[in-house]
Amino acid sequence: MAEELTPATPEETEEPIKQRKNGLYREVSDELAENMKSGWADTELTGLAPIAQAEHTAARRAALSARFPGERLVIPAGNLKTRSNDTEYSFRASTEYAYLTGDQTQDGVLVLEPTAGGHRATIYLLPRSNRENGEFWLDGQGELWVGRRHSLAEAEQLLGIPAKDVRELPAALQEATGPVRNVRGHDAAIEAALTDKVTAERDEELRVYLSEARLVKDAFEIAELQKACDSTARGFEDVVKVLDKAEATSERYIEGTFFLRARVEGNDIGYGSICAAGPHATTLHWVRNDGAVRSGELLLLDAGVETTELYTADVTRTLPINGRFNEIQRRIYDAVYEAQEAGIAAVKPGADYRDFHDAAQRVLAEKLVEWGLLGDLDVEKVLELGLQRRWTLHGTGHMLGMDVHDCAAARTASYVDATLEPGMCLTVEPGLYFQADDLTVPEEYRGIGVRIEDDILVTEDGNRNLSASLPRQADEVEAWMARLKG
């Protein structure tokens, strides 16, 4: 990447103009400074069509406005985060900001100002670079370095929200009076400007509202989740096609292969891919992905493409690396598949959220009892004591959306203790994990981990599996792999 130049500060205006490069200051001649001011074409765009989700973001803002009448609401996109020295992680806008605006610009802030009839929304963004004062090429955020931005007028047309210069916002917030709430954790400068005006409790209520607002997805969101699942399915196919190359290298080949699909078709991966071959499959969050890939073992791949509009899939398949399950692998796989089928069947409007977990856990407990792993205990006693959890380890699913664990700030009463409604989207992902050092199971079980995970939309009359294009049943998995491996 290119190095950044830092502008001369206002105090230095009597001094020679300077650039800073690699920590060294370089003087800029008056002639060059003058030269850089002019000779640039006007590239302002007019008549831009609104973004595809503009009507949806307007409806989301209207619902937010109705919940907090008379209060100023501040929702930042967040800032770049340093990776090391002067390099940064790639920017990902806050979910709250992207949900309400459809915009993903770093340092952007949405503000809803209370009015007599509701709220007036304004989006605060960095405008195009000034050529006259040199920020265009001397400033680190100058467009010469980071690329052309939309002008405020262009942003307004695209987003359907009046736009102002974000550099004016901290002072405006400090001067403003009346009740205000801010989504914390994204923008330290905004928080500093509001420090005397907000309380943690009231800010938390705003965060909770925005989490619960996303429990039921609108039509745009459902289409995005379908896109995410479709790209993810293609990413899984990519992986199957290169399993021989992964065997010759490591799990990293799988991680890199899926990442390529995510970057080409979407924004990114929605979370760190779990590429767990052999016994690594029993480590729930195996993201080191540096292990060997061996024929005869299973690959547990848990990965999701995040779309350009920031909706992610969350899919897991457990695949025989050589294309065929052996007997013990298939026994465990079939048990998890049966549990997942029971879980998916329990996803329907009006059902308790907890039902799909209970249904899947019951099947897994039955299998563990049947295999003699729990002594003389019957299934009811096992479930009562939760003893199956030595091998099932985790809950059976979670809400899915812009965040892989979406709606995480929602209250228990609105989420875990609530009933399912059409438009909710959740994962159903039972698993069985036999640690390599688990002396309570026969040796043949040890080091085997199986999870099957799909993304299930609650519909008016039941559910729809958004990731159904990837086979799950064992014979179908083998046939699919044989076809792809050619």
Interface with Mn ion by CB under 5 A: which residues? 314, 427
CB of 427 to Mn ion, least distance (A): 4
Q: What is the dihedral of CA 248, 251, 252, 256, to 10 degrees?
A: 100
CB of 453 to Mn ion, least distance (A): 5
> Closer to Mn ion at the Cβ: 107 or 314?
314
> Closer to Mn ion at the Cβ: 361 or 427?
427
CB of 304 to Mn ion, least distance (A): 8
> Closer to Mn ion at the Cβ: 307 or 427?
427
Locate the DSSP E strands across 70-203: 72-76, 82-84, 87-88, 109-115, 118-125, 163-165, 180-182
DSSP 446: T
CB of 67 to Mn ion, least distance (A): 29
Report the distance separating Cα 93 and Cα 95, nearest Å.
6
> Closer to Mn ion at the Cβ: 140 or 272?
272
In angstroms, what CA-CA distances link 129 with 28, 146, 147?
A: 19, 11, 10
Q: Do 194 and 180 touch, CB atoms closer than 8 A?
A: yes
**What is the CA angle 473-478-479, rounded to 5?**
100
User: Helix H segments across 266-378?
Assistant: 327-345, 355-370
CB of 104 to Mn ion, least distance (A): 24
Report the distance separating Cα 234 and Cα 230, nearest Å.
6
Cβ neighbour number for residue 97 with a 10 Å cutoff: 24
> Closer to Mn ion at the Cβ: 114 or 304?
304
Q: Do 458 and 421 touch, CB atoms closer than 8 A?
A: yes
CB of 302 to Mn ion, least distance (A): 7
CB of 314 to Mn ion, least distance (A): 4
CB of 429 to Mn ion, least distance (A): 5
Closest CB to Mn ion: residue number: 314
> Closer to Mn ion at the Cβ: 122 or 427?
427
User: Following DSSP, what letter does each residue of 373-427 receive, concatenated?
Assistant: TTTT--HHHHHHHTTTHHHH-S-S--B-SSSSSTTTTS-GGGTTTSB--TT-EEE
CB of 392 to Mn ion, least distance (A): 14
* Token pair belonging to 337: 């598949």
> Closer to Mn ion at the Cβ: 212 or 314?
314
Question: Helix, strand, or coil here: 119?
Answer: strand
Q: Do 199 and 180 touch, CB atoms closer than 8 A?
A: no
> Closer to Mn ion at the Cβ: 7 or 235?
235
> Closer to Mn ion at the Cβ: 224 or 314?
314
* Token pair belonging to 241: 């096609």
**What is the CA angle 147-125-221, rounded to 5?**
90
> Closer to Mn ion at the Cβ: 120 or 405?
405
CB of 271 to Mn ion, least distance (A): 8
**What is the CA angle 469-472-473, rounded to 5?**
130
User: Helix H segments across 266-354?
Assistant: 327-345
**Pairing verdict, β 87-88 and 82-84:** antiparallel
> Closer to Mn ion at the Cβ: 181 or 398?
398
CB of 289 to Mn ion, least distance (A): 17
Question: Helix, strand, or coil here: 343?
Answer: helix
